[in-house]
Amino acid sequence: MGSGPILQLSGVSKSFRVGPRTIGRPRAQLRALDHIDLRVEAGKTLGIVGESGCGKSTLARIIVGLTRPDAGTVAYEGADLSRARRRPLAAALGLQMVFQDPYSALNPRMRIGDAILEPLLVHQIVPRAEAPGERDRLLDVVGLSPSLASRYPHELSGGQRQRVNIARALSVRPRLIVADEAASSLDVSVQGQILNLFSDLRDQLGLTLIFVSHDLNVVDHLCDRVAVMYLGRIIEEGRPSILREGALHHYTHGLASAIPQPIPGRRRAQPAISGELPSPTNPPSGCHFRTRCPARQPLCAEASPPLNPAAPDHRVACHFPRVSTPEAVGRNHAADDLTVSPSS
Ligand SMILES: Nc1ncnc2c1ncn2[C@@H]1O[C@H](COP(=O)(O)OP(=O)(O)O)[C@@H](O)[C@H]1O
Ligand SMILES: [Mg+2]
């Protein structure tokens, strides 16, 4: 795969009104997304990382048409999804989302077999007579026995429920799936199984995946590209090596330093990011990260750095990026090429 962009976001912004309603005073404005430009190549896996509240879920919801952007365009296979009736259009075009909480995504009073039949019939994916067979096939694809079809969601484990949600997403034959922390609420051992299922499905079905996660090890393992967000902006985008030694943005470098190391007792030399996350309703002027940045200069308060190309396949939004030695970058890129799918 890998034949041009399947998804392209240009200048996507979204604000929410928050706080109490007071007469004579407008409610505070929270800029959840600020001019997001992003391209996703067909058949590739993009990871989206960043601290809680940086806008990852808002971005995910806009991509699948659940939230409407205030500005900008979302082009999916040439169709503009930023307009009216985006959600039915997105589903019809094969865009699906898998959420963090597998239980709340399912109707507790509907047998799981019916939960999978429903989208098959609504979207007329197969003739009605063939739907039960297709339901059983989908259960099998996600590693569940078709004999579970008559169970209710509460009779399944968390991992099994998430497999049902994935089967539902797959039922409409999607080309792109957005998984928003889809394994985060599960036990660690089950998380690995669900992540492996995603990577197998990607390889077998040629799916494009957008993988939202706060777990940098997972993203490093699973993704071809990584976008790092901070307070509503993408501040760096590149290969997964930016989560190791290849970071050019000081924030990415701080995140990467905080990744728990698989070898006990071994720590990275650099400290993690210091200071508090600023209030999203009142972010710092210029570069939002400057209040926590070890390399800040007066310019950083005056001008917001654009997300500019720093190297082929690597964009960074920083006036004074880190200097990454060519040797370190070369080493990481070689390692990226070896990282095809998770081994755990
Ligand atoms: N519907 C909403 N109304 C008001 N504020 C929201 C809403 N959805 C998200 N936000 C705010 O937007 C910011 C980004 O949220 P979100 O996209 O959920 O971040 P993440 O998924 O990275 O944790 C947060 O400050 C959050 O509180
Ligand atoms: Mg979220």
Pairing relation of β-strands 208-212 and 45-49?
parallel
Q: Between 323 and 255, where is the model more confident? A: 255
- Mutating to test ligand 1, I would choose from 12, 52, 54, 58 the residue with most ligand atoms within 8 A of its C-beta, which is 58
Q: Are 194 and 163 in contact (CB under 8 A)?
A: yes
Query: In the numeric block, which tokens belong to residue 244?
Result: 């190791």
Ligand nearest to the CA of 230: 1
Q: What is the DSSP letter of 25?
A: B
Pairing relation of β-strands 208-212 and 176-180?
parallel
Q: Are 281 and 18 in contact (CB under 8 A)?
A: yes
Q: Are 232 and 248 in contact (CB under 8 A)?
A: no
List, for residues 262-320, the tens digit of each pLDDT value. Answer: 555 555 555 578 888 999 999 999 999 999 999 999 999 999 999 999 999 999 999 99
In this structure, which residue's CA is closest to atom 3 in ligand 1? Answer: 16
**CA R_g for the chain:** 21
Pocket-forming residues, ligand 1, beta carbon under 6 Å: 16, 18, 30, 32, 50, 52-58, 280
Ligand nearest to the CA of 59: 1
Show the CA angle centred on residue 30, arms to residues 27 and 36, nearest 5°: 150
- Mutating to test ligand 1, I would choose from 17, 30, 63, 97 the residue with most ligand atoms within 8 A of its C-beta, which is 30
Beta-carbon-side half-sphere exposure of residue 78 (alpha carbons within 13 Å)? 1
User: How much is the mean pLDDT over the chain?
Assistant: 88
How many CB atoms sit inside 10 A of residue 191's CB? 19
In this structure, which residue's CA is closest to atom 11 in ligand 1? Answer: 32
Query: Rounded CA gap, 24 and 288, in Å?
Result: 29
**Under CATH, what is the fold of the domain 5-15+31-94+174-261+268-338?**
Rossmann fold (3.40.50)
Pairing relation of β-strands 45-49 and 225-230?
parallel
Ligand nearest to the CA of 34: 1
Beta-carbon-side half-sphere exposure of residue 19 (alpha carbons within 13 Å)? 12
In this structure, which residue's CA is closest to atom 27 in ligand 1? Answer: 53
Q: Are 339 and 241 in contact (CB under 8 A)?
A: no
Query: In the numeric block, which tokens belong to residue 223?
Result: 């993704």
pTM exceeds 0.75 for this model = yes
User: Reduced to 3 states, what is the DSSP secondary structure of residue 73?
Assistant: strand
- Mutating to test ligand 1, I would choose from 12, 16, 66, 181 the residue with most ligand atoms within 8 A of its C-beta, which is 16
Pairing relation of β-strands 176-180 and 95-98?
parallel
In this predicted structure, the answer to whether residue 331 has a pLDDT above a threshold of 90 is no
User: Reduced to 3 states, what is the DSSP secondary structure of residue 291?
Assistant: helix
pLDDT score, position 271? 54
In this predicted structure, the answer to whether residue 324 has a pLDDT above a threshold of 80 is no
Strand partners for 74: 9
Q: Are 77 and 95 in contact (CB under 8 A)?
A: no
Residue spans of the domains in the chain: they are 5-15+31-94+174-261+268-338, 109-173
List, for residues 67-105, the tens digit of each pLDDT value. Answer: 999 999 999 987 887 775 666 667 677 889 999 988 888
In this structure, which residue's CA is closest to atom 1 in ligand 1? Answer: 16
In this structure, which residue's CA is closest to atom 5 in ligand 1? Answer: 16
Backbone phi and psi for residue 190, each to the nearest 5 degrees, phi listed first: -75, -35
In this predicted structure, the answer to whether residue 2 has a pLDDT above a threshold of 60 is no
